[in-house]
Copies of this chain bind each other. A is one copy, B any other.
Amino acid sequence: MERLPGFRDFYPEPLPDGEAWSANVRERIFQSWRQVASLYAFQPYDGPPLEPLALYTAKSGQEIVGQLYNFEDKGERAVALRPEITPTVARMVAARERHYKKPIKWYSIPQLFRYERQQKGRLREHFQFNADIFGEADPAADAELIAMLIDLLRDFDLTAKDFVIRLSSRNAWQDFFNQNGGDESKAYDFYQAVDKLERTAPEESEKKFQALGFTLEQVRNFIAAAEPTEELQAVLDNLAARGMSDFVKIDYNVIRGLAYYTGIVYEAFDRHGKFRAIAGGGRYDQLVSLVSGGKKNIPAAGFAMGDVVLVELLKERGLMPDVSPWIDVYALIEDESKRLATLKLVQLLRDDQMEVDYSMVPMKPEKQFKRAIEVNAEYTVKLENEGNVLLKNLKTKQEEKIPIDKIRDRMLEAILGDDSE
C-alpha cells in the first residue's frame, strides 16, 4: 500500500534517498518557530484542518476551488482541507475579538493542503508558520512582524548574506494604478500581471499591461524608481533601530498575488535567487470584515513561512540542524538474574528525567554494548554485585563504581555537567 502522491512520510531521521525531511528535523524547526514567536510575545492558536468551502471562496472567489482539496461531507456540506490558515484566524478573531485587548499577537503552525491537478511531483501538503497582529493599523505592526521574520531566519544561522526581505506596498501600486487612469474593476488583473512580471516573457507582460491601459516601460520605471512611501519609510526606520537594515530593501517587483492585501507587502528571498520565496506577508485590513460579513472591522497584518523552501535553503547552505538521536544512558544486562533489579534502576533514572534504553530480551554482552553505541548513549550502566553500579562514559571511556543509592545524584551531576557543554 502506497501513500498518496504529494504527501510526505516523516521518518525519525532523513531518508538516504536525499530527502531532507524527517520528524526530528520537523520538530527542531517547530521548536525554533515556537521559541522565536514567544520572544516576540506571540500566543499560539490553531483551528480545524477542515473548514467550510465558503470560508475560502468568500475571500478568494470561486477560482480558488480548482486548487483546493474540497469535497462534500456525509452531511452534504461543501468542505475543504485548509489551503491557508488566515481565513480561519480571521473567523476566530471576528468571533471573540471583544474579549481581547488589542493588539492581538498570535501565531500558528498548521499543516496546509492544495490540490492542483497539473502539478505532478509537487507537494500537496506543507507546514507553515503563520503570525498575525490584529487591531493595530500602524506600520509599527508590520515592522514588528518583519523583525520576527528576520529573527526566525537568523535562528537557523542564516545571515544577511543568505536572505533579504523585499518590501513593497499595495498602496503605492494602487496610487500608481489610479494616477495613470487604471480602471478600478481591473485592479486585481493588474496586480496579478505585476506579481508574475519576473516570471513572464516581456512581450506577454507588455500585452497584459496594454490591455489594462499601461505600458511595460511605465511599470518598469515605477519599479526602478522605488520611492518608499511614508509607511515604508516608517518600517525601514523601525527596522534600522533594531539593527536590521541589512535584511531589507524596497523592491516594487513584490506585490503578492492574493486579492486581499491592502498595505505593506513583502517577501523573503534567498540572496542567490535559487529558490521560490521563503516567506511572504503583508497587511489585509479588510479581511476580518470580509470573513465576518461586515460585522467586525479590525486591521490585520501577518506573514507565513513554509517548511519546504526553508529546508531546501538550509540544506543548500549546509545549515541543517543536527538532530541525530541520542540518549543519556543504556543499561547493560549481562546477568539475566539481574534483569528485574536493572529495570528498577532504569525506572529510577527515568524518574529523574534521564533518557534510558536497554535490551528487552537476553542479548550477548558485546551486542548490547554495540547497541548502546548505535543509539548514541552517553553512558552505560551495569548493575554489579553488592548493590554497585558500573557507570561508563562512552566518550571518555572512564568507568567508575557507584553504590546504587548514590547513582541518582552521580548521574544527575554527570548529565547536567554534559548539558552545559
Contact = CB atoms under 8 A, between A and B. Distances in A.
A51 B9 CA distance: 11
A241 to B, nearest CB: 4
A262 interface: no
A3 interface: yes
A115 interface: yes
B140 A51 contact: no
A360 interface: yes
B50 A23 contact: no
B51 A340 contact: no
Q: How many copies does the complex hold?
A: 2
Most buried by B among A3, A5, A339, A374: A3
Contact of A39 (B24, B108, B344, B356): B356
The interface residues of chain A, by DSSP majority, are classed as mixed
Interface stretch (A171-179, A186-194, A200-208, A345-353): A345-353
B350 A241 contact: no
Contact of A3 (B4, B51, B141, B242): B51
A341 interface: yes
A27 interface: yes
A225 to B, nearest CB: 27
A292 B1 contact: yes
B24 A242 contact: no
A125 B48 contact: yes
A38 interface: yes
Interface stretch (A52-60, A266-274, A395-403): A52-60
A98 interface: no
A4 B52 contact: yes
Given A73-B69, A241-B343, A356 B8 contact: no
A355 interface: yes
A41 to B, nearest CB: 4
A360 B138 CA distance: 8
Interface stretch (A75-83, A158-166, A248-256, A386-394): A75-83
Interface in A1-56: 1-5, 7-13, 15-16, 23-24, 26-27, 34-35, 38-41, 43-52, 54-55
Contacts of A96: 11, 15
A92 interface: yes
26 contacts: A4-B48, A4-B50, A4-B51, A9-B92, A10-B45, A10-B46, A12-B44, A16-B99, A23-B43, A23-B44, A24-B43, A35-B353, A39-B356, A40-B355, A41-B375, A48-B125, A49-B111, A50-B69, A50-B125, A105-B357, A138-B361, A238-B343, A241-B339, A241-B340, A241-B343, A242-B343
Interface of A: 1-5, 7-13, 15-16, 23-24, 26-27, 34-35, 38-41, 43-52, 54-55, 58, 69, 71-75, 77, 79, 81, 88, 91-92, 95-96, 99, 101, 103, 105-106, 108, 111, 113, 115, 117, 125, 136, 138, 140-141, 144, 147, 151, 237-238, 240-244, 291-293, 325, 327, 339-341, 343-344, 346-347, 350, 353-357, 360-361, 371, 374-375
5 closest A-B pairs by CB = A7-B48, A41-B357, A12-B43, A241-B340, A71-B71
Given A1-B58, A2-B52, A10-B47, 4 more contacts: A3-B91, A35-B353, A39-B354, A240-B340
